[in-house]
Amino acid sequence: MSTHELYTEAVGEPNWQVPSASSARLSWEYDDGRDRLLALYQKGKDKQWDGAKRIDWDLEVDPYDPLGTPDESMSLYGTPYWAKMTDKDKGELRKHYASWQFSQFLHGEQGAMVCAARIVESVPDLDAKFYSATQTMDEARHAEIYGRFLHEKMGMLYPINDNLQALLGDTLRDSRWDMPYLGMQVLIEGLALAAFGLIRDTTDKPLPKQILAYVMQDEARHVAFGRMALRDYYSQLTDAELREREEFVIEGCYLMRDRLRGVEVLENFGIPKAQAEQYSEESEFLAMFRQLLFSRIVPCVKDIGLWGKRLQQAYVDMGVFEMGNSNLDLLMAQDEEIAEKLDAERFAAEEQARVTEVRDAIRSGEAG
Ligand SMILES: [Fe+2]
Ligand SMILES: [Fe+2]
């Protein structure tokens, strides 16, 4: 079925065209790559996987409770609207909210694929082009998986959020080759990764858990790539050039914190925009969620050398400054471990089922 039939509202033109001023660059140096970057490229090749095979698509998903979300975490919980809602309404709200969230993941993954391809095109060094080519493939697989989940299991999609689209547009239009890294790898992916992690660690539904754990295993490499490339490059920039990048980060962070809340979902339930914004502002759960969304961005920004006064102050104002001290390497190692552990558990369960089957077959043979 065409996705356009599943969108909650018409998305207009079938393509979004973003003009760009960036240059394509080819390098004639084929033998001088940075060891760490080439090692990451090798890992990117070794760790490819196929979502059509690795994910158990036969698992059923209840679209009215796809993630096992507790009532208290819904933004309307405790409001007069919630009191008036029937169980059916609440199921409908869960379906819309999860569709909205996974749709933003899907559009973000497509954006990540395009940004990774842009990096292949515009980054000066061949080692970075090689690595980013593997990432382009990773992001294609991710977009495929989220798209399949939404089509097959949810039957509903939301258009891209206006502000996510604006940030993606700014990232793609910029002529500086480091901006797709900063806008996508650091900001948008940093935010997405934190959101994936929160769902992965709280959902009790096996299909979304598999999807998120396996996608996050790849994302750990993407973050490592962004850090490596930007740390090298930013150490050569002037103060003025660094401040420009910091302004971009500050603006992007506020935008995502304040304008990426799924207010459009509540509007679809007849709640006026101002009221919907107020509810999402007042929800204790959402306030906590919004802070946790920065757990991957803040340490990364600090690590790549964007840690000027204004940026530090912005993070103090957002209440996320302390996150700069969290250990990104540890978080990413955990992301990889969780995916491997999930694989091991699933294969052990399958093995057990096979053994039981064989034993039963032998027993029924003996009986007969
Ligand atoms: Fe991705
Ligand atoms: Fe990624």
pLDDT for residue 289: 83
Q: Please tell me what DSSP assigns to residue 24.
A: P
pLDDT-derived band of residue 39, with 50, 70 and 90 as boundaries? very high
Mean pLDDT score of the chain, rounded to an integer? 92
Cα gap 170→168, rounded to integer Å? 6
Whether residue 1 has pLDDT greater than 90: no
pTM: 0.93
100-123: average pLDDT: 95
Least confident of 151-155, 237-241, 294-298: 294-298
Cα gap 37→42, rounded to integer Å? 9
User: Cβ(95)–Cβ(154) under 8 Å?
Assistant: yes
pLDDT for residue 368: 61
CA of 139 to the centre of ligand 1 (A): 4
Ligand lying closest to the C-alpha of residue 106:
1
Q: Classify burial at 86, counting beta carbons within 10 Å of its beta carbon; exposed 0-12, middle 13-18, buried 19 or more.
A: exposed
- pLDDT tens digit string along 173-188? 998 989 989 999 899 9
CA of 189 to the centre of ligand 2 (A): 6
CA of 106 to the centre of ligand 2 (A): 11
Whether residue 220 has pLDDT greater than 90: no
CA of 206 to the centre of ligand 2 (A): 22
Whether residue 291 has pLDDT greater than 90: no
CA of 223 to the centre of ligand 2 (A): 7
**Inter-CA distances, 248 with 180, 183, 193, 291, Å:** 12, 8, 20, 19
pLDDT-derived band of residue 345, with 50, 70 and 90 as boundaries? very high
Rounded percentage of the chain residues whose pLDDT exceeds 70: 100
Please identify every residue whose CB atom is under 5 Å from ligand 1, which is an ion: 109, 112, 139, 142
